[in-house]
Amino acid sequence: MNIQQVKLRYGIIGNSSKLNHALEIALQVAQTDLSVLITGESGTGKEIFSQVIHTNSSRKHNSYIAVNCGAIPQGTIDSELFGHEKGSFTGAHESRKGYFEVANNGTIFLDEVAELPLSTQVRLLRVLESGEYIRVGSSKPLKTDVRVIAATNVDFSKAIQKGDFREDLYYRLSTVPIHIPPLRERGEDIYLLFMKFATDFAEKYQMPSVRLTDAAKEALISYAWQGNVRQLKNVTEQISIIEEDRNIGIETLTKYLKGLQVTKLPVLYQSENQQDFSNEREILFKFLFDIKKDVDETKKAVNLILQQGGLSNMKSSVTPSYNLDSDSQEGTIIEKSYEMKDKQEIIYNKNHIEDTEEIIDVNLSLADMEKDFILKALNKHKGKRKLAAEDLGISERTLYRKIKEYDIDM
């Protein structure tokens, strides 16, 4: 089964390179019995990947059991996974097989595996290493041949540092890691998913399908989607049911997307952990603010010199060099040099200034500066658009649009 067949069978929508890469790994590892750890944010479809692995493996005709480790109470998780003997605890009126016994020769999918208590992690480690487990209330080891696929949206490095997850178990689970990209890294897939969901809901509720204006489409693609595909599906369903007008504009879309701002003003940079500007205009505005700051500092320096009696006539040309976004975590992004001629006619007569006229000529074109930024970033990274977009703090899609807009020859 190739990638396109997998997408058709499981309803996977999208053609982004990261999604295709994850599917390729899943198909390759499916033919083995290696343990797989699937990572990704909530709502990215981790369970679908586990099903892809199982149905393309030699175990596809045997049991497949999906277990949500975070939904089982800590006091009963061992019994659920490994079974128990009659009378082993209050309420154990008869012996019971656990999932590892029921799924023998099949596959177990452990979703939210990071939620397992430490005592259960020890038991799971033994199963992965030797295939042995012991029922609760028993001392007799039993054997099982189960392929384990685990998934989590937790950062394991932090969980291990805090002592919440065993490092040896992590390495046993992650024999083959698969990372599913978040929806915001699959920009070209977002609108495809929206249209698919809109069509499905139109058929389900027997109503015309909703459509997006160009502005709403751009907003949909640029939105962060913290809930990923699950959130996008929910939003599409809400719009399909609630809105009477089938033509959805950006004002209507804003009601369903928390935090989406419909404005032509730049958005302030609020988090040091946020690596992308939500709008490329921020770069230009920040640059202009830096220019104003430098002009003010230059004026102060000149006035200080005059007050100290160091000059009697002054005409200066200042050429500062700026390191745009030099305080950001990514370090130096763009260096922009410019010239400002501070033309002053100063008559200094002993201890006072008789007349001072100051003309500041700053001839700036936002379009020219933006084009210059893009050229510098592309040259810096030898034409690699992805790296250049990261340096500029904009999406690769926006960079591509700007290259076409300014007719930049690559």
- pLDDT at residue 289 in the model: 58
Nearest to 35 by CA among 109, 123, 101, 118: 109
Query: Do 53 and 220 form a contact (C-beta atoms < 8 A)?
Result: no
What is the chain's Cα-based Rg? Answer: 30
Identify the residue with better confidence: 299 or 76: 76
Q: Is 94 helix (H, G, I), strand (E, B) or coil?
A: coil
Residue 266 confidence (pLDDT) above 50: no
Residue 16 confidence (pLDDT) above 60: yes
User: What residues contact residue 407 under an 8 Å CB cut-off, 6+ apart?
Assistant: none
pLDDT grade, residue 408 (50/70/90)? confident
Stretch 118-134: mean pLDDT: 95
Identify the residue with better confidence: 257 or 392: 257
- Percent of the chain having pLDDT more than 70? 76
- pLDDT at residue 312 in the model: 46
Residue 334 confidence (pLDDT) above 50: no
- pLDDT at residue 163 in the model: 94
- pLDDT at residue 308 in the model: 67
For residue range 195-233, list pLDDT tens digits in order. Answer: 999 999 999 999 999 999 999 999 999 999 999 999 999
Residue 309 tokens, joined:
């009696």
Residue 106 tokens, joined:
């099949």
pLDDT grade, residue 354 (50/70/90)? very low
- pLDDT at residue 29 in the model: 96
What domains, with CATH codes, occur in the chain?
A: 3-181 (3.40.50.300), 184-254 (1.10.8.60), 285-364 (no CATH), 367-405 (1.10.10)
Residue 25 confidence (pLDDT) above 90: yes
For 35-117, where are the alpha helices, taking DSSP H only?
Answer: 46-55, 77-82, 99-102
Stretch 236-261: mean pLDDT: 89
- pLDDT at residue 288 in the model: 61
- pLDDT at residue 58 in the model: 95
H or E element at residue 346: strand 340-349
- pLDDT at residue 315 in the model: 44
Identify the residue with better confidence: 358 or 79: 79
For residue range 362-404, list pLDDT tens digits in order. Answer: 444 567 777 888 888 888 888 888 888 877 778 877 887 788 7
How far apart CA 227 and CA 41 sit, in angstroms, is 8
Q: Are strands 36-39 and 316-318 parallel, antiparallel or unpaired?
A: unpaired
- Percent of the chain having pLDDT more than 90? 57
- pLDDT at residue 320 in the model: 44
For residue range 150-205, list pLDDT tens digits in order. Answer: 999 999 999 999 999 999 999 999 999 999 999 999 988 999 999 999 999 999 99
For residue range 52-106, list pLDDT tens digits in order. Answer: 999 999 999 999 999 999 999 988 999 999 999 988 888 888 889 999 999 999 9
- pLDDT at residue 114 in the model: 95
